[in-house]
């Protein structure tokens, strides 16, 4: 556990949405909806909550931490996604997007640290709670690399509201890889100009369209640094394209959202590059055909089209 937290701190906020709703159906005075209704900056948010039938939920006991997009944020979101108004957004999609802005518990700005939390949104790849990446490394607070806190710590009796400058859409595995600096070398590898495989395009495919969903075993920056030292080379540029492409494919499983609880001893895991073996006794590991072992050091970063597990050693063909 200590090793996992050093690599990617995980906020242990796994309260299920339905449990929160069932705790207390009584409306709370000065609740989160009251906060939203009292500001002209949140008229779009209020309209969205009404359309998604989430008003009553956010009026109850909680506690909730709500990331509240401004009207301008909603306007940009609608324009970027080809909608003329909230009325054009399918209710199920809108509901899940709004739930992606809600985290269990009362998290003040001083409680937020770089790492992952679970929102009340549900992944279409697994029916598990969606992850959200919180980045406090640059002096502010940013979510999934796209939405920053504009105003923090607006207190309600059933939680707390942080105003954000962008709607936080449902993340893909690419979203988390790009947002989390732990994976910056992996992103550089996946986006190298000479690659014949468009990894960003493939790994952005939504669940329901082949080959999604995906399970990505993501080497950390330290893992890539160790590989470069092991190979005696200066950087990724020294790895030829066929070799790099082959290596990257060994880190992606297509057609399955494999959670840590799905892994067993001596389990064959079929990646895009070939078979590797998972084991869980004594700690989760992945072993290639040559006996090279990679430890899984952080698990279940859940996106809408798949899941990411961080590993401490690059898997080689």
What digits encode the pLDDT tens for the residues 202-240? 999 999 999 999 999 999 999 999 999 999 999 999 999
- Choose one of 151, 169, 187: the last residue of a domain: 169
Residues 141, 241, single domain; the answer is: no
Where residue 27 falls among pLDDT bands split at 50, 70, 90? confident
Q: Tell me, yes or no, whether 68 and 91 share the same domain.
A: yes
- Distance between CA 51 and CA 269 in Å, rounded? 42
The burial of 143, by beta-carbon neighbours within 10 Å (0-12 exposed, 13-18 middle, 19 or more buried), is given as buried
Pair (33, 163) in one structural domain: yes
| Residues 122 and 265 occupy one common structural domain | no
| Same domain assignment for residues 224 and 291 | yes
Give me the CATH number covering residue 305. 2.30.180.10
110 assigned to some structural domain: yes
Number of domains composing the chain: 2
Q: Looking at the structure, do residues 67 and 162 belong to the same domain, yes or no?
A: yes
pTM for the whole thing? Answer: 0.92
Of 17-21, 138-142, 244-248, 285-289, which range is least confident? 17-21
- 27 or 80: whose pLDDT is higher? 80
**CA–CA distance, 264 with 254 (Å, rounded to integer):** 18
- Is 316 inside any structural domain? no
**36-92 pLDDT, tens digit each:** 999 999 999 999 999 999 999 999 989 999 999 999 999 999 999 999 999 999 999
- Say if 59 falls within a structural domain: yes
Mean residue pLDDT of the chain comes to: 93
Question: Residue 22: is its pLDDT beyond 70?
Answer: no
What is the band of 29 on the pLDDT scale with cuts at 50, 70, 90?
confident
| Residues 156, 33 within the same domain | yes
Q: Is 250 left (phi over 0), alpha (psi -120 to 50) or beta?
A: alpha
CA-closest candidate to residue 218, choices 265, 182, 269: 182
Instruction: State whether 94 and 69 are in the same domain.
Output: yes
- pLDDT of 191: 98
Residue where a domain stops, chosen among 132, 152, 169 = 169
The pLDDT of residue 11 is above 70: no
Question: Is residue 317 situated within a structural domain?
Answer: no
pLDDT at 175: 98
Same domain, 123 and 183: no
Average pLDDT rounded to a whole number, residues 254-275? 98
Domain span at residue 108 reads 2-169
Q: What is the CA 296 to chain-centroid distance, rounded?
A: 17
Query: Could you tell me if 80 and 107 lie in one domain?
Result: yes
Could you tell me if 301 and 179 lie in one domain?
Answer: yes
Domain boundary among 105, 135, 169: 169
């Amino acid at each position: 556990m200590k090793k996992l937290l050093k690599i990617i701190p995980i906020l242990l906020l796994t309260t299920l949405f339905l449990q929160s709703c069932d705790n207390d159906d009584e409306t709370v005075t000065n609740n989160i909806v009251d906060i939203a209704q009292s500001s002209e900056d949140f008229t779009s948010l209020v309209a969205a909550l009404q359309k998604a039938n989430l008003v009553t939920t956010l009026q109850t006991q909680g506690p909730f931490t709500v990331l509240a997009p401004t009207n301008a944020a909603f306007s940009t979101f609608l324009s970027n996604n080809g909608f003329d108004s909230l009325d054009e957004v399918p209710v199920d999609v809108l509901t899940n997007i709004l739930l992606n802005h809600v985290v269990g518990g009362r998290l003040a700005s001083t409680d937020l640290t770089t790492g992952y939390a679970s929102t009340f949104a549900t992944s279409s790849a697994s029916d598990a709670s969606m992850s959200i990446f919180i980045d406090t490394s640059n002096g502010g607070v940013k979510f999934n690399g796209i939405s920053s806190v504009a105003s923090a710590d607006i207190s309600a009796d059933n939680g707390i509201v942080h105003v954000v400058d962008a709607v936080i859409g449902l993340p893909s595995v690419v979203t988390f890889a790009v947002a989390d600096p732990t994976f910056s070398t992996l992103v550089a590898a996946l986006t190298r100009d000479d690659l014949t495989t468009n990894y960003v395009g493939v790994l952005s495919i939504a669940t329901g369209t082949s080959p999604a969903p995906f399970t990505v075993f993501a080497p950390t920056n330290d893992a890539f640094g160790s590989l470069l030292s092991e190979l005696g080379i200066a950087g990724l540029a020294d790895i030829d394209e066929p070799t790099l492409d082959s290596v990257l494919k060994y880190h992606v499983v297509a057609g399955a959202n494999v959670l840590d609880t799905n892994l067993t001893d001596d389990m064959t895991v079929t990646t895009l590059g070939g078979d590797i073996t998972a084991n869980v006794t004594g700690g989760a590991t992945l072993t290639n055909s040559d006996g090279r072992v990679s430890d899984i050091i952080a698990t279940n970063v859940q996106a809408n089209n798949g899941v990411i597990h961080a590993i401490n050693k690059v898997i080689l063909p």
